[in-house]
Amino acid sequence: MSDYKPFSPKQAARFADLHSDLFGDHSQLKAEEFGDGNLNLVFRVKNNRSSSLIVKQALPYARCVGESWPLTLDRARIEAQVLQQHGKICPDHVVEVYHFDQDLAAILMEDLHQYEIARTALIQGKSFPLLAQHIAHYLAQVLFHTSDFVMTGPVKKARQQQFSNPELCLITEDLFFTDPYSNHERNNINPTILPEAQKLWLDTELQAEVAQLKADFLSKPQALLHGDMHSGSIFVNADSTKVIDAEFGFFGPIGFDCGSFIGNLLLCTLAQTGLTKDPATAQSRQTYLKDQIQQFWQGFAAEFSQLMQQETADTSFQNSLYQQRFLQQVWQDSLGYAGCELIRRTVGLAHVADLEKIADPAQKANAETAALTLGRQLILQRTSLGLEQLLDLI
C-alpha cells in the first residue's frame, strides 16, 4: 500500500477523471467529500455539464471513531469485489463499480443522485411500493447463486478465501453479539432505559441463544453475504432500488442478510409513534412497513424456493424435503438476526436515525424499550414464530 494517502477533493477528482471518460478532456471538475457513514470517505465529483461520479476511499481507521480504531484498507477490495460479484448476478439492484484501485483503496462508482437513502426517506414518511420486492429479488438471486446449491465445493472454497474478511467480521461479532449483553465501554445507552439494558447483561437464557446465532455467524458459510443489509445501504426511488456499501461481505449465514433487512424495517415501524405526532399517520406508516416485511419474506421465500427447485446443480441438494428444511432454517435465523439488530441498534455503539430522531424523550425511551422487548422475543421464539405471528407481535 505504498502509494496510499487519503484523497483531498482535488485528488479524488483526478482519480475519477483518470479512470473514466465520462467527463471529457477539458472538463472543469469539482469535488466535495460528503460521506455520512461510519467508516469511509465518499466524494462526489462533478463537471460543469452536471455529469457526476462517486469516489469512495477507505481510511486506515474507522471514520466515526478516529485513528484510535485502526481498520484494514482491504475492506475497499472486499466492497468492490462483492459489488462486482453481486452485480453480475443481479445488475438491476447493485450500484455499478467502474474502477477499483487496490493501492489507493479507492472505488470509482455510479452516482445514484436520482435516488434517496431508504432509511432517510422512510423516516420522512415516504413510501416505495417496490422496495421489499426488489430487495427480496436481490437477496434471493445473489445468495442462491453464491451457495452450495450452485457452486461446486472447490469453487466455493476459493471464493471463501477471496472474501475472507476477518477485521470487518470481528466488528460485527463484537457489536452484534457481544457488547450489548455486557457493560461494555463501547455501548451507547440512553440513561432512561439503563435498567432495561442491564436486564440484558443478566439474561443468561437470551445470551445462550445469542451465542448460538454468533456461532452460526462464525461458522455457517452458506453464501456470499452483503454483510450490512440495513436501510442505510439501500438507495431507492419510485421504480428502482440499488444496494451499496458491501464492505462487510463474507461467506456467512443467509439469514444474516435477510434478518438485517427485516430488523431495520422493524426499527422504523417501532419508531413511528415517536416520529409522527398524528396517531393515524403513525398507524398507516406502520401498516405500510409491516406490509413491506411481509412482501419481503414472501417474495424471498418464493424466489429462493423456485431457484432451489429449478437451478440446483448438486444432485444431493435437489431433495425437496431438504430444500424445505433449508428455507425454514433461513427463516428462523433471519428472525434471530433481526432480533440482534434491534438490540444492538438500541444499546450498542452504532445507533440508527429512526430512533435517534424521536424528539420527545419519553417517546424515544418507549420506542427503545419496545425494540429491546421485540428483539428479545424474536431471538427466543425464532423456532416457533411464523410470518403472521411476527407481524402480530409488533
Ligand X SMILES: Nc1ncnc2c1ncn2[C@@H]1O[C@H](COP(=O)(O)OP(=O)(O)O)[C@@H](O)[C@H]1O
Residues near ligand X (CB under 6 A): 35-40, 42, 54, 95, 109-113, 117, 232, 244-245, 247
Identify which range of 32-40, 75-83, 146-154, 267-275 contacts ligand LNRAV4D5 by CB under 6 A.
32-40
Beta carbons of 141 and 303 less than 8 angstroms apart = yes
Q: Is 110 assigned a ligand-binding role in the annotation?
A: yes
> Distance between CA atoms of 89 and 121, rounded to whole angstroms?
27
Binding mask 136-175 for ligand LNRAV4D5 (x = CB under 6 A): -----------------------------------xx--x
Among 189, 350, 391, 394, binds ligand LNRAV4D5 (CB under 6 A): 350
Kindly state the DSSP code that residue 38 receives in the 8-state scheme: S
Q: Is 40 assigned a ligand-binding role in the annotation?
A: yes
* Nearest Cα to Cα of residue 82 among 221, 225, 223: 225
Q: Is residue 228 part of the contact set for ligand LNRAV4D5 (CB under 6 A)?
A: yes
**Which residue's CB is nearer to ligand LNRAV4D5, number 74 or number 245?**
245
> Distance between CA atoms of 115 and 137, rounded to whole angstroms?
19
**Which residue's CB is nearer to ligand LNRAV4D5, number 353 or number 390?**
353
Q: Is residue 233 part of the contact set for ligand LNRAV4D5 (CB under 6 A)?
A: yes
Q: Is 245 assigned a ligand-binding role in the annotation?
A: yes
- Residue 109 contacts which entry, ligand X, ligand LNRAV4D5, none (Cβ below 5-8 A, type-dependent): ligand X
> Distance between CA atoms of 66 and 73, rounded to whole angstroms?
14
Q: Is 344 assigned a ligand-binding role in the annotation?
A: yes
Beta carbons of 45 and 16 less than 8 angstroms apart = yes
**Which residue's CB is nearer to ligand X, number 88 or number 113?**
113
Q: Is residue 335 part of the contact set for ligand LNRAV4D5 (CB under 6 A)?
A: no
- Residue 116 contacts which entry, ligand X, ligand LNRAV4D5, none (Cβ below 5-8 A, type-dependent): none
> Distance between CA atoms of 200 and 206, rounded to whole angstroms?
8
Mapped onto helix, strand or coil, the DSSP state of residue 264 is helix
Q: Is residue 90 part of the contact set for ligand LNRAV4D5 (CB under 6 A)?
A: no
Distance, first Cα to last Cα, the chain = 48
Minimum CB distance to ligand LNRAV4D5, residue 265 (Å)? 16
User: Residue 374 has which C-alpha cell?
Assistant: 421485540
Helices 279-311 and 254-275: angle between axes, nearest 10 degrees: 170
Quickly count: other Cβ atoms within 10 Å of residue 51's Cβ. 15
What are the start-end ranges of the H helices in 163-225? Answer: 166-172, 194-202, 204-219
Quickly count: other Cβ atoms within 10 Å of residue 110's Cβ. 16
Q: Is 111 assigned a ligand-binding role in the annotation?
A: yes
Helices vs. strands in the chain: H and E counts, helices first = 14, 12
- Residue 141 contacts which entry, ligand X, ligand LNRAV4D5, none (Cβ below 5-8 A, type-dependent): none
**Which residue's CB is nearer to ligand LNRAV4D5, number 244 or number 308?**
244
Minimum CB distance to ligand LNRAV4D5, residue 232 (Å)? 5
> Distance between CA atoms of 119 and 35, rounded to whole angstroms?
15
Minimum CB distance to ligand LNRAV4D5, residue 268 (Å)? 16
Describe the strand order of the beta sheet including 234-236 as a list of residue ranges: 116-117, 234-236, 241-243
Which residues does the annotation place in the binding site?
Answer: 40, 56, 110-112, 228, 245-247, 344
Which residues does the annotation place in the binding site for ATP?
Answer: 40, 56, 110-112, 245-247
Which residues does the annotation place in the binding site for substrate?
Answer: 228, 344
Q: Which residues bind ligand LNRAV4D5 (CB under 6 A)?
A: 37-39, 62, 64, 171-172, 175, 228, 232-233, 245, 350
